[in-house]
Amino acid sequence: MKLTKVLTLLLTLLASSAWAQKNYKVEIDLTKATADQLSVEIVTPKVSTDQIDFHVPKIVPGTYAISNFGSFVSNFKAFDQTGNVLATSHPDANTWKIENAKKLYKITYTIDDTWDTPQIKEDVFEPGGTSFEKDTAFVLNTFGVIGYLQGNEKKPYQVQIKHATGFYGSTSLEPKKSNIPNVDVFETDSYQTLADAPILYAKPDTAWIKVANASVLVSVFSAGGKSSAKALVNDVRPILEGHAKYLGGKLPVKKYAFLVYLSNKKNLTRFGALEHTQSCLTFMPDSFSPEQLSSQFRDIASHEFLHIITPLTIHSEEIGNFDFIDAKMSKHLWMYEGVTEYAAHHSQVRSGAITLEEYLKRQTEKIGISKKYFNDTLAFTVLSSEALDKQKEQYQNVYQKGALIGLCLDVKLLTLSNGKYGLREVMARLGKKYGTKKSFKDAVLFDQIASMTFPEIRTFFKDYVEAGKPLPLKETFDALGIAYNPDATHKTIETSMAFGAGLAPDRKHLVIADMSGATNLGKRVGFQPGDVFVTMNGDPFTLETYQDCFAKYSSTVKLGDTVKFVVQRKDANGEEKEVSLEADIREEVQPYISIEPIASPSATQQKIRNAWLGK
Ligand SMILES: [Zn+2]
């Protein structure tokens, strides 16, 4: 008996050690998280070189921004099998050089979360970051926790996660059977697959629905307890039903997970989501009204899901062979983000989830924002190639002008084909030609699409994507029987002040920083740079309260009202005193972009409009 036992034990040990030396075996214990930090232990595959680099990503797919996850690592150590420490050096933020690497067995380190680590000065967008809150929720974007050995990205991973009783890990990954209570085991074929699957650990608030051929999970963590998966799943259903129709009757995945974190942090300056092949992670404020939450989540869900088409299916080599340390930028953000954003709204108007009027209102906003805040003559291929550095400030235009490029291209294709096919069909053909495993060459995509369609499409790309010509919006809307007038005016009451504000040295109060962009109303109030806000219309006006103050103001203000501020201002002797400022609200003539369907379009216009709307 004894012998058998030892033998079995010996066999298991041998088996597990042989296994472990071929693949990665990661262990994380969420129950031991302290001060927003996790300990990570990685048994590595066997290394055959004397030296090897261990990396934690500098950049991850879909973010188009540098994250430097290595900056969040501390206490990095490498060991041989008997527990001796191997010499390591740390040449840059995301690299650890390990000596005597043939002996490498195990790596351990501590990692901070990115949401709540003020001492680390990396700006990581929340949906692509991490949060470790022991008692409430863990946002595990796996690439922000786990690293890899250079050249060993394609080796399998086994990740064991221990969690507290009552916590559930929501993810698109299928957990393996685990015999240990409160331990989840996930296995992936490579680092890329692991990095593509975030996990949200919290007390479960989940809902499953079936849409077309897919099972869809909505998992919600609501920090303020205001919303639930039950409510959000009703927003997902019509969007995905529309997408199934849009994509020819079926969804391209069998399982998909919407992981939603609703934050109760005050005055969030941004929110959004990051796409993955079978899931997306959404970060939004919990303070939204149910209507706001519903409409924002619909748009986010619509956009993120359609990323399955591009770049998750149709992509260039830069994305297909993604380098987490030294990523090369593709020229085609007009497609990855622009066409996705276009389709996210086009699918909704085709399925009837939104009206044509609502669709056109959204395009008006996109045109207005892209022309007001971004460089309209910058070639989109240049914006794309330089999105990480030189053109960082222009990146957000991919959701504005990028989507409008999609619209113009779609209508051009419909016009040239006499209503037979548009961008939707061309994307489907590209998806068949390439698919998830095969990348296109960045330099030939425009020629390829032109050769699949019309020579005129090559000219379209040359003018509006490779050169920075203003988009043919008038021609595009006209083809659909829609009147476009960018120079319309209307009478309205002035509400916006458009002063530039910054943080006062106490970091709680706001201070006037810049009045150069102020509106007439803003100028009449009489702010001076350096004024520190005290109240607005009698309510305290600070970093904590300004959003509520503005919300109250814009929902109640009417013609003839007076808007009042109290500020602290230094007088000529340098003494601080409170000054009251005010201005009356007047009527003003404002320019606006008018986009309205023509009541009686020509037969050709009607035909193209019907084809575009799928009627
Ligand atoms: Zn996107």
Per-residue pLDDT tens for 530-558? 999 999 999 999 988 888 898 889 889 99
- At a CB cut-off of 8 Å and minimum separation 6, what does 446 contact? 458, 461, 462, 465, 466
Instruction: Give residue 142's Cα distance to chain centre.
Output: 16
Is residue 128's pLDDT more than 90? yes
Token pair for 195? 């990095």
Is residue 243's pLDDT more than 50? yes
> 461: CA distance to ligand 1 center in Å?
21
> 190: CA distance to ligand 1 center in Å?
24
> 596: CA distance to ligand 1 center in Å?
28
Per-residue confidence band for 404, with pLDDT thresholds at 50, 70 and 90: very high
Q: Which among 370, 394, 374 is positioned nearest to 384, based on CA atoms?
A: 394
pLDDT value of residue 7: 38
- Give the separation between CA 300 and CA 289, rounded to whole angstroms: 16
> 90: CA distance to ligand 1 center in Å?
33
> 402: CA distance to ligand 1 center in Å?
11
> 94: CA distance to ligand 1 center in Å?
25
pLDDT value of residue 409: 98
> 414: CA distance to ligand 1 center in Å?
25
pTM: 0.88
Please compute the mean of the pLDDT values over residues 450-462 and round it to a whole number.
Answer: 98
Q: Which among 348, 346, 333 is positioned nearest to 380, based on CA atoms?
A: 333
pLDDT value of residue 544: 84
> 275: CA distance to ligand 1 center in Å?
7
Per-residue confidence band for 505, with pLDDT thresholds at 50, 70 and 90: confident
> 533: CA distance to ligand 1 center in Å?
37
> 304: CA distance to ligand 1 center in Å?
6
Q: Report the relative pairing of strands 88-92 and 168-170 from DSSP bridges.
A: unpaired
Is residue 13's pLDDT more than 60? no
Between 128-142, 156-170, 194-208, 573-587, the lowest mean confidence (pLDDT) is in 573-587
> 125: CA distance to ligand 1 center in Å?
13
Q: Describe the strand order of the beta sheet including 37-43 as a list of residue ranges.
A: 85-86, 73-79, 106-112, 37-43, 24-29, 157-162, 183-188
> 313: CA distance to ligand 1 center in Å?
14
> 558: CA distance to ligand 1 center in Å?
38
Torsion from C-alpha of 548, 554, 555, 557, nearest 10 degrees: 130
pLDDT value of residue 4: 34
> 337: CA distance to ligand 1 center in Å?
5
> 544: CA distance to ligand 1 center in Å?
30
> 182: CA distance to ligand 1 center in Å?
34
Per-residue confidence band for 590, with pLDDT thresholds at 50, 70 and 90: confident
pLDDT value of residue 17: 43
Please compute the mean of the pLDDT values over residues 404-416 and round it to a whole number.
Answer: 98
> 288: CA distance to ligand 1 center in Å?
22
> 115: CA distance to ligand 1 center in Å?
21
Per-residue confidence band for 502, with pLDDT thresholds at 50, 70 and 90: confident
> 218: CA distance to ligand 1 center in Å?
19
> 44: CA distance to ligand 1 center in Å?
33
> 341: CA distance to ligand 1 center in Å?
7
Is residue 119's pLDDT more than 50? yes
pLDDT value of residue 508: 84
Is residue 301's pLDDT more than 60? yes
> 339: CA distance to ligand 1 center in Å?
9
Per-residue confidence band for 374, with pLDDT thresholds at 50, 70 and 90: very high
Q: Hey, what long-range contacts does 135-138 have (CB within 8 A, 24 or more apart)?
A: 136/202, 136/221, 136/223, 137/200, 137/201, 137/202, 137/221, 137/223, 137/261, 138/30, 138/33, 138/163, 138/167, 138/199, 138/200, 138/201, 138/202
Percent of the chain scored above 90 by pLDDT?
84
> 62: CA distance to ligand 1 center in Å?
7
Q: Is 548 exposed, middle or buried (0-12, 13-18, 19+ CB in 10 A)?
A: middle
> 421: CA distance to ligand 1 center in Å?
24
> 258: CA distance to ligand 1 center in Å?
14
Give the chain's mean pLDDT.
93
- At a CB cut-off of 8 Å and minimum separation 6, what does 546 contact? 267, 510, 533, 536
> 497: CA distance to ligand 1 center in Å?
32
Evaluate whether 53 touches 150 at the Cβ level (below 8 Å): yes
Per-residue confidence band for 97, with pLDDT thresholds at 50, 70 and 90: very high
- Give the separation between CA 346 and CA 406, rounded to whole angstroms: 10
Is residue 117's pLDDT more than 60? yes
Token pair for 271? 């929110």
> 310: CA distance to ligand 1 center in Å?
9
pLDDT value of residue 16: 43
Q: Is the peptide bond before 311 cis (omega within 30 degrees of 0)?
A: yes
